[in-house]
Amino acid sequence: MNLDPENMSTSAVYHTMVSAIVPRPVAWVSTVSESGIDNLAPFSFFSGVTSNPASVVFSPVNHPDGSKKHTVRNIEATRQFVVNVVPARLARQMNLSSANFEAEESEFEKARLTPLASQKVRPAGVKESPIQMECELMQIVNVGQGPMAANLVIGKILLFTISDDVLTAGRIDPEKLDAIGRLGGKGYCRTTDRFELDRA
């Protein structure tokens, strides 16, 4: 089967991409508005960029009416964000935080999560999450225009905070971390199902 995105609806393209590009890690991104309201939302179009400088990228797309998500608006205003890692035990709260709340409503309260004061940036992390990456905006790259266009956020990691609970001999242990990955539709997977290969 061949599929040409030019001849497909954006919705069909989306469903094809999220089923083909799997598994995707989930950046649980906390930001703060200029007026001080905490915001939290998950983004699975997410990746590391490079270790020099330590950097991440994620892709908040515009709403169908063309407006920007709160995460983007807050990052444009403050130039800071925190990426929290999502273990399986927090999957339901992560999902809840993706609901379309008003700008004045904090997803921390809605999902019963505890803000964790950050050390180098203003936005709080998620205390229940085992890893926080405090980030400073490097660049927002616009891909497309209008509805579903992306605001690709590239950030420099200023600080990692890693819970001792997920470490074995000083390294992050995927079994203990039990991070989730997103698949197509309603599907998720976890880092407890793995295999190893020696590097070629």
Ligand X SMILES: Cc1cc2nc3c(=O)[nH]c(=O)nc-3n(C[C@H](O)[C@H](O)[C@H](O)COP(=O)(O)O)c2cc1C
Among 22, 23, 45, 54, binds ligand X (CB under 6 A): 45
Indicate the residue type of 141. V
Interface stretch with ligand X, choices 39-47, 116-124, 157-165, 168-176 (CB under 6 A)? 39-47
Answer yes or no: are the C-beta atoms of 182 and 26 closer than 8 Å: yes
Closest separation in Å from C-beta 138 to ligand X: 18
Q: Which is nearer to ligand X, 39 or 132 (CB)?
A: 39
Separation of alpha carbons 125 and 103, rounded Å: 18
DSSP sequence for 89-111:
GGHHHHHHTTS---TTS-HHHHT
The shares of helix, strand and coil residues in the chain, as percent rounded to the nearest 5, are 20, 35, 40
Among 30, 32, 42, 157, binds ligand X (CB under 6 A): 42
Separation of alpha carbons 5 and 139, rounded Å: 27
Separation of alpha carbons 158 and 149, rounded Å: 28
Longest dimension (CA), the chain: 52
Q: Which is nearer to ligand X, 94 or 157 (CB)?
A: 94
Q: Which is nearer to ligand X, 45 or 54 (CB)?
A: 45
Q: Which is nearer to ligand X, 64 or 168 (CB)?
A: 64
Residues in 50-89 that interact with ligand X by CB under 6 A: 59-61, 69-71
Q: Is 25 in the site for ligand X (CB under 6 A)?
A: no
Among 2, 9, 100, 145, binds ligand X (CB under 6 A): 100
Which residues here bind ligand X, judged by CB under 6 A?
A: 26, 39, 41-45, 59-61, 69-71, 95, 98, 100, 182
